[in-house]
A and B are shown apart, each in its own frame.
Chain A
Amino acid sequence: MISKIQKARYVAKQGISKALIYILAIIGAFFSIFPFLWMIICSTNTNADILQKKLTLGSALLVNYKKLTELAAVWQSFFNSLFITVVAASGMIIVCSMAGYGFAKFNSRGKTRLYSFFILSMMIPFSTTMIPLFKMMVSFRIIDSFWAIIITALPSVFLLFFFRQNFASFPIQTIEAARLDGANEFYIFAGVVAPSMKSTYAAGAIWAFMREWNDFLWPLLVIQTPKKQTLTLMLSALNSAYFIDYGALMIAIVIATIPIAIIFFTLQRHFISGIVGTGK
């Protein structure tokens, strides 16, 4: 028998924990989106309004946009970034998912050792390989070319790890069944396994797209002519100008953020289910 007091205490306790959860959620959400909202607000205000901390939407969006196009070749940079990102991300996903499948479903002692070696190499910071890579790009004569960014991005150990973890849970019976039907190994991978792992590929694609779209240090080293600048390089250049037009800068940031936002919001359904296997 539950007495009335106990019941009231239980209800109160539930109420407090519910309130706590809402408070935490609202505080978290406020701090998470404030800089983001502020960026959007600033992109619609004039430089003078921004400096006066105006916190409402303005009407200077088009003026800012026009200023930005005078200051920098924003669409040129946009398409440079888009080209690099799409090609590099697709390449990374093909190369890394194939290898992830190879390690997950074709285990041998040699491969286990090789895989541990790959995982350990995650410890190598980019600054270690940066200089020899730079020298290598010079000798390949692809300095100041998008290919210098694309080909060096291909071996992503994180993606390899991510795909291996996810492929490990793919039922081996399905693969065996396809083998009995006489399908060749590559067809089994590309025609049977990969199409049924859409969430994994979606999560991998989000990760690869973000990584390449946001890449900064390596493009900073290899890209030299302004015409070939990526968006991140253009933003950084605008940010270090002596007189910064904040309205124009903010709209540039908005433009740089939109593609990632679109990719994320269209694929986010898959994102969580895709990363479940990681860390196991």
Chain B
Amino acid sequence: MNNLTKDGKYMERAISKKIKTYNPEKIHGRAGWFFVFPFLAVFLVFTVYPMMDSFYLTFHKMEGYNISFAGLANYKQLINDELFWRSLGNTFLYLIIQVPVMLLLALILSIVVNSPKLRFRGAFRTMFFIPCVTSLVAYSIIFKMMFSSDGIINMSMQWMHIIQAPIQWLREPIAAKVLIIIALVWRWTGYNMMFFLSYLQNINKEYFEAADIDGANILQKFKHITMPLMKPILLFSAIMSTIGTLQLFDETFNITKGDPNYSTISISHYIYNQSFVYAPNFAYSATLSYVVVLILVVLSIIEFRVMGDEK
């Protein structure tokens, strides 16, 4: 009797042990980590560690390779750094003008190219996407040429009597900022259009047919069908574009060099200058970059609140 229960217990234990070793859930979990592991490893080394190192640097001072604790000195320096505020202001200006304009244009183009009334849709779609095929450096160079004071843009605008004298795109602070915005809009509209288009093509056509029967016009259809269904991708594009604009570097570096008188320099460009052009100040530029992180987090939260719902 006693032995039997003992055996029974052993048996139970053995079985449960066996179940444990052959637990499909566990194998499942292990396989999952196996797939995630390579990414996790490179991410820890090339993103997490640099992030922490950078944060550590913000409280230190670097002289050559000697690092000494400096408390909040970098942060204090930042408050009085006029050029930092200027580059931040420029970046914000790009952001609040370029991102909405670009997203609106991308939305219009995606609706146009999705319309059954348009023939050669494939050809149009390809043409709208062409700007994204050119590299950032390449198109920056092309724009710099087209917008030079005796360039083709000024020439054709004079020819059409839109302007009397050539606009100094590369020398006037305001015109130079406009030029950067035009360039950014040109380069990225087609890219965002592709994302919108992929969404539009998935909208059930019956919604539009039902709306047609009810006599809805284009704007009503847009407001009540397209917009609500496009919300997730709009939010996604808005956040990605915000991140992209705050990292703006190639264009200001290759079109205007941040000139005239720092009126077009972006925050990333300024951080680059602080690290590699002026007397290298790695600790200070790390501090600057953390301010960008803070701004991005705040902006993304705002974008989520404004455009997103419970998700």
Contact = CB atoms under 8 A, between A and B. Distances in A.
Given A31-B186, A33-B130, A272-B197, A21 B115 contact: yes
A101 B36 CA distance: 8
The B contact surface, by secondary structure, is helix
A71 B224 CA distance: 58
15 contacts: A32-B131, A33-B130, A96-B39, A99-B38, A103-B36, A122-B243, A124-B47, A125-B296, A155-B42, A155-B47, A210-B133, A216-B135, A253-B141, A265-B126, A279-B199
Q: Report the interface size class on chain B.
A: 35 or more
B73 interface: no
Contacts of A101: 35
B76 to A, nearest CB: 20
Interface of B: 28-29, 31-36, 38-40, 42-43, 46-51, 53-54, 57, 105, 108-109, 112-113, 115, 117-118, 124, 126-146, 150-152, 155, 186, 189-190, 194-195, 197-199, 201-202, 218, 232-233, 235-237, 243, 246-247, 249-250, 253-254, 267-268, 271-272, 275-276, 282, 285-286, 288-290, 292-293, 296-297, 300
Closest 5 CB pairs of A and B: A106-B32, A102-B35, A99-B39, A132-B50, A129-B50
A99 B33 CA distance: 9
Contact of B46 (A28, A151, A235, A236): A151
A208 interface: no
Contacts of A74: none
A151 B289 contact: no
Contact of A256 (B135, B247, B293): B135
Q: Which of B38, B139, B300 has the most CB of A within 10 A?
A: B38
Interface in A128-145: 128-133, 135-136
Contacts of B155: 53
A278 interface: yes
Given A131-B275, A232-B138, 18 more contacts: A28-B127, A38-B152, A94-B38, A99-B40, A106-B32, A123-B296, A125-B289, A125-B293, A131-B285, A152-B46, A185-B34, A214-B137, A268-B126, A271-B194, A275-B194, A276-B198, A279-B232, A280-B232
A279 B51 CA distance: 26
A276 B293 contact: no
Q: Report the interface size class on chain A.
A: 35 or more
Contacts of B131: 32, 35-36
Interface of A: 14, 17-18, 21-22, 24-25, 28-29, 31-33, 35-36, 38-39, 42, 51, 53, 94-96, 98-99, 101-103, 105-108, 111, 114, 118, 121-133, 135-136, 151-152, 154-155, 157, 160, 185-186, 189, 210, 213-214, 216-217, 221, 231-232, 235-236, 239, 246, 249, 253, 256-257, 260-261, 264-265, 268, 271-273, 275-276, 278-280
